[in-house]
């Protein structure tokens, strides 16, 4: 079952996720004031408009080189994802979807960094006063994509172990 990966999966899933990510950020930016919060599930989840100059947990937010660094890292990630995708077999549909999700997330946040110099975050999960850092659709796509990629790697490992080995 060798053969080239299905690039339609890459194109369609990346495009859909990217559109949802960017439209949600534009909506939040236009409909809410910065730092405004709308409770959705009390003591657990709110829509809270923030801007993040750094990475997760505000990493590198106050450094002078943060923007070129994050843009560079994002471009490298896009290249690595595309190269990895090109090496997939056509039967590796979960890996194709996973890499598409990770690509969409990387590009979604890259667009924000180029356009705004920072990333719009608005999904706020918390318990009482303990908050997880706010995130967005792009971040979610990256996390779910990494989870699916790990599952695919486990499946691939089992597939390789199940193959009969040639003579030693």
C-alpha neighbours within 13 Å on the C-beta side of residue 9 = 21
133 is written with which tokens? 């850092």
Among all residues, which ones are annotated catalytic?
121, 139
Helix axis angle for 137-162 and 93-116, nearest 10°, is 150
User: The tokens of 102 are what?
Assistant: 């990770």
φ, ψ of residue 16 to 5 degrees: the values are -60, -50
HEC profile of 88-140: CCCCCHHHHHHHHHHHHHHHHHHHHHHHHCCEEEEEEEEECCEECCCECHHHH
- The DSSP element (H or E) to which 40 belongs, if any, is strand 37-41
């Amino acid at each position: 079952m060798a053969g080239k990966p299905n690039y339609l999966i890459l194109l369609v899933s990346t495009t859909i996720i990217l559109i949802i990510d960017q439209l949600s950020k534009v909506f939040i930016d236009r409909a809410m004031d910065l730092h405004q919060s709308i409770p959705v599930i009390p003591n657990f989840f709110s829509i809270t408009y923030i801007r993040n100059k750094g990475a997760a947990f505000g990493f590198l937010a106050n450094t002078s080189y943060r923007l070129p660094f994050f843009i560079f890292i994002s471009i490298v990630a896009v290249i690595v994802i595309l190269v990895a995708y090109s090496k997939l077999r056509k039967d590796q549909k979960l890996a194709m979807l996973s890499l598409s999700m990770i690509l969409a997330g990387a590009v979604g946040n890259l667009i924000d960094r180029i356009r705004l110099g920072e990333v719009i975050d608005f999904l706020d999960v918390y318990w009482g006063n303990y908050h997880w850092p706010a995130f967005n659709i792009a971040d979610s796509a990256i996390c779910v994509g990494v989870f699916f990629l790990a599952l695919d790697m486990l499946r691939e490992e089992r597939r390789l172990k199940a193959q009969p080995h040639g003579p030693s």
